[in-house]
């Protein structure tokens, strides 16, 4: 059979699994259908949102709220009615998508938007020995990589940047960037006012007339009986932006190397009692429709691109709070921040801007604030189309078993040596990878203090990414999860979780080896236990250290609290513009940057040095000291950080420099 005939036949007979039907997925499904693929399966748990319509072209306004996988199938069948497309409106991590399910496919094509799901699919493909073509885009940048067991590296062979973490002390006391103010407004203030009030919160809740030594003093955030909503809003305003700032200023040592903030009180920003509306407050809005409630509409503020003054931010803050209590009171106590909740975005933007003003940080528009708070990296439809085309090209190579022609291809924003698409030969697997090379891990832990629960939550789930773990010491089963467990077994494992490692039925001490297995992923890890008495609470907040698992580089602690709005710089001095997912931690972590492996690249991008040693302005991009497709930070955008991308920033996250590389 001629090569061309072989190619057509292999395409026609191939059974393909697509994971993700979003920005990349829509383009990919169309490409597969028009390229001759006749048996396509799609998994996507999401429903269509209005914000998807500008780039996910298979969807229309009438489809909002419907399953992405099912609507995409119906749309493609209109112009390719004779092919088979099977949609699954499910989570790819559901138990029925197991190794046996994956084994039926010739190739798996990923268009996912989060690290956890990507790792899960990677492990299932390894266990099923099915080729995986991975992809991602962010703005004008994109990449496609091929992962085949025994032939190339797996998706987890090299570390991926974790969500950015900020210490509570920085968020609550010494913010220096606007994102610090956003985190404070979203994770602390919004959660305290409108979320679960039983949850711990690092905001100071005691008023100025409460005794500082009294733990039972009145919570200032509690609204008094029959208290006017605006009076309550002003009281909250004065407490968080006035009294708390004055309290912070009283701690003189904090401000030796920092710019001192200024307290802001409501009487200084808008002295009048009531806020005048534009006369059109919710006239045409049903009292049952809370989705359209907006402080901006009430105040007659129109453009989301404008940066509000301090007075405007103060008015929006009070108005948004009033609307929450008057129009959405039944939701208070159970709310969490949602980037698609207009009123929540308005409140967080106003609160963040007022706090930024207090600390001398530049203010931002609600459009910019929403992007930061929602971790949104805006997608470009053209990039998605390019990447989807490259995925199909690599999938055809896989089906043809053209191993020598596999390529990792990067899509660049600016030409590098007259090239916008940069192909790189796939790398060999990392011999230290615990996923594909089965390298044992080592855990330093105080076995007399740490509980089995700590090991499960901080190591097995958080770091190893296992969802259905089994933990064994020799032949002794210490922990297991599953729907088919008997009640006495469930009770026994629950009791084990609360025991320190040394006191478990099968004693875990220094020198012990634990076996950790995920039945769904068919992944088995060996963890060698090393007892250690003490840990640095700042640098090692988990109270345990895992070796052999590659932790991404962590930003160094800011020794001087110089107020600026600069981007975050990594260990090599480069600066990243992107806003990562944010998690608040009790202390700041410090660690040495992971030194990347040297890799031989094609002449078109060879740089002859470690990425960590690469100077700013080289062809190695910011925040990619390790090779990596990394975690997508927003469910609406298929985003990934790349290496080999000529992208340079000047140290200010709001200013992007276009620089032609030679």
pLDDT at residue 161, rounded to an integer: 67
pLDDT exceeds 80 at position 324: yes
**Are 290 and 395 contained in the same domain?**
no
Residues 416 and 447 in one domain: no
653 falls within a domain = no
Q: Assess whether 13 and 151 both reside in one domain.
A: yes
* Residues 189 and 315 grouped into a single domain: yes
What are the distances in angstroms from CA 622 to CA 222, 482, 578, 649, 652? Answer: 45, 42, 10, 8, 13
Domain for residue 607, yes or no? no
Q: Which of 306, 326, 360 is a domain's end point? A: 360
Give the DSSP letter string of 126-166: HHHT--EEEEEEETTEEEEEEE-TTTS--TTSS--PPPEEE
The answer on pLDDT for 580 being more than 70 is: no
- Note whether residue 230 is domain-resident: yes
Distances in Å between the alpha carbon of 69 and those of 45, 304, 437, 453?
Answer: 8, 32, 34, 37
**Per-residue pLDDT at 85 exceeds 50:** yes
In a domain, 314, yes or no: yes
Position 618 scores a pLDDT of: 33
Averaged pLDDT, 631-648:
37
For residue 464, give its domain range.
441-547
pLDDT at 338 over 50: yes
- Is the pTM of the predicted complex or chain greater than 0.85? no
Establish whether 68 is an annotated binding residue: yes
- The CATH code of the domain that includes 459 is 3.10.290.20
Could you confirm whether 258 is annotated as catalytic?
no
Residue 288: the pLDDT is: 54
Residues 41 and 68 in one domain: yes
Judgement on whether residues 151 and 200 belong to the same structural domain of the protein = no
Q: Is 279 annotated as a binding residue?
A: no
Residues in contact with 504: Cβ distance below 8 Å, sequence separation at least 6, in sequence order? 452, 473, 478, 496
pLDDT of residue 457: 92
Radius of gyration of the chain (CA): 27
Counting the structural domains of the chain, the total is 3
pLDDT in tens, 242-293: 999 998 888 777 787 788 899 999 988 877 665 544 444 444 444 455 667 8
**Does residue 20 have a known ligand-binding role?**
yes
pLDDT, tens only, 482-500? 878 888 888 999 999 999 9
Judged by DSSP in three states, 57 sits in coil
CATH label of the domain that carries residue 343: 1.10.10.520
Is residue 591 assigned to a domain? no
- Provide the pLDDT for residue 501: 94
Give the active site residue among 26, 169, 181, 525. Answer: 169
Q: What is the CATH number of the domain that holds 109?
A: 3.40.50.720
Evaluate whether residue 242 is within a structural domain.
yes
pLDDT of residue 264: 95
Spatial CA neighbour of 612 closest among 654, 643, 647, 571 = 571
Query: Tens of pLDDT along 593-625?
Result: 233 333 433 433 333 333 333 333 333 333 333
**Last residue within a domain, chosen from 326, 360, 394:** 360
Ligand-binding annotation for 25, yes or no, is yes
User: Do 264 and 389 lie in a common domain?
Assistant: no
For residue 542, being part of any structural domain is answered with: yes
Query: Is the confidence at residue 15, as pLDDT, over 60?
Result: yes
Reported as a single tens digit per residue, the pLDDT across 369-416 is: 998 988 777 789 999 999 999 999 999 999 999 999 999 999 998 888
User: Do 466 and 385 have their domain in common?
Assistant: no
- Does one domain contain both 49 and 153? yes
Residue 643 has pLDDT above 80, yes or no: no
559 pLDDT higher than 90: no
Phi, psi angles (nearest 5°) of residue 652 = -110, 120
User: What is the structure's pLDDT at 245?
Assistant: 92
pLDDT reported for residue 203 = 77
* Same domain, yes or no: 151 and 232: no
Residue 584, domain member (yes or no): no
Same domain? 282 vs 328: yes
Query: 211 with 338, same domain?
Result: yes
Measured CA to CA, the distance from residue 165 to residue 490 in angstroms comes to 34
Can you tell me which residue has the tokens 């088995």?
524
């Amino acid at each position: 059979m001629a090569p061309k005939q072989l190619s057509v036949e292999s395409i026609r007979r191939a059974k393909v699994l697509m994971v993700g039907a979003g920005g990349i997925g829509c383009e990919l499904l169309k490409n597969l259908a028009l390229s001759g693929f006749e048996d396509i399966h799609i998994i996507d748990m999401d429903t269509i949102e209005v914000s998807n319509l500008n780039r996910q072209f298979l969807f229309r306004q009438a489809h909002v709220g419907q399953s992405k996988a099912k609507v995409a199938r119906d749309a493609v069948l209109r112009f390719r009615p004779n092919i088979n497309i099977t949609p699954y409106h499910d989570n790819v991590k559901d138990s029925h998508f197991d190794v046996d399910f994956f084994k039926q496919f010739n190739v798996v094509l990923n268009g996912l938007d989060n690290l956890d799901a990507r790792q899960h699919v990677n492990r299932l493909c390894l266990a099923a020995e099915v080729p995986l073509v991975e992809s991602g885009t962010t703005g004008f940048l994109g990449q496609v990589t091929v992962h085949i067991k025994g032939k190339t590296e797996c998706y987890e062979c090299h570390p991926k940047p974790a969500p950015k973490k900020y210490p509570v002390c920085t968020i609550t006391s010494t913010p220096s960037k606007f994102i610090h103010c956003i985190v404070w407004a979203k994770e602390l203030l919004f959660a305290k006012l409108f979320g679960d009030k039983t949850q711990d919160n690092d905001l100071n809740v005691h008023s100025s007339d409460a005794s500082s030594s009294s733990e039972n003093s009145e919570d200032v955030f509690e609204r008094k009986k029959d208290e006017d909503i605006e009076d309550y809003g002003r009281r909250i305003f004065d407490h968080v932006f006035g009294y708390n700032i004055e309290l912070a200023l009283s701690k003189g040592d904090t401000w030796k190397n920092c710019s001192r903030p200024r307290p802001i009180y409501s009487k200084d920003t808008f002295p009048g009692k009531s806020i005048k509306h534009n006369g059109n407050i919710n006239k045409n809005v049903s009292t049952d429709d809370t989705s359209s409630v907006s402080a901006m509409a009430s105040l007659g503020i129109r453009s989301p691109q404008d940066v509000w003054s301090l007075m405007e931010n103060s008015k929006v803050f009070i108005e948004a709070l009033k609307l929450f209590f008057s129009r959405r009171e039944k939701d208070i106590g159970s709310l969490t921040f949602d980037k698609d909740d207009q009123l929540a975005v308005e409140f967080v933007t106003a609160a963040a801007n007022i706090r930024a003003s207090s600390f001398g940080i530049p203010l931002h528009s609600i459009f910019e604030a929403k992007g930061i708070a929602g971790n949104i990296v805006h997608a470009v439809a053209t990039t998605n189309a390019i990447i989807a085309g490259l995925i199909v090209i690599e999938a055809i190579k896989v089906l043809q078993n053209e191993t020598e022609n596999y390529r990792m291809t990067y899509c660049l924003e600016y030409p590098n040596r007259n090239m916008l698409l940069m192909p790189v030969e796939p790398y060999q697997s990392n011999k230290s990878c615990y996923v594909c090379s089965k390298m044992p891990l080592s855990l330093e832990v105080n076995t007399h203090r740490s509980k089995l629960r700590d090991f499960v939550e901080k190591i097995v789930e958080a770091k190893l990414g296992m969802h259905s773990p089994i933990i064994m010491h020799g032949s002794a089963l210490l922990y297991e999860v599953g729907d088919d467990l008997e009640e006495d077994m469930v009770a026994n494992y629950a009791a084990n979780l609360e025991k320190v490692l040394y006191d478990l039925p099968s004693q875990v001490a220094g020198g012990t080896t634990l076996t950790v297995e995920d039945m769904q992923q068919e992944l088995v890890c060996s963890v060698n236990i090393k007892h250690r008495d003490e840990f640095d609470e700042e640098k090692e907040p988990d109270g345990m250290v895992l070796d052999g698992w590659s932790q991404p580089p962590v930003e160094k602690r800011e020794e001087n609290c110089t107020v600026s709005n600069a981007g975050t710089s990594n260990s090599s001095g480069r600066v990243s513009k992107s806003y990562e997912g944010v998690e608040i931690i009790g202390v700041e972590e410090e660690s040495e940057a992971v030194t990347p492996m040297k890799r031989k690249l094609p002449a078109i991008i060879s740089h002859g040095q470690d990425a960590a040693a690469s100077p700013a302005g080289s062809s190695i991009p910011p925040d990619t000291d390790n090779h990596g497709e990394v975690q997508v930070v927003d469910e609406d955008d298929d985003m990934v950080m790349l290496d080999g991308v000529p992208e340079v920033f000047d140290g200010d996250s709001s200013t992007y420099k276009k620089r032609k590389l030679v």
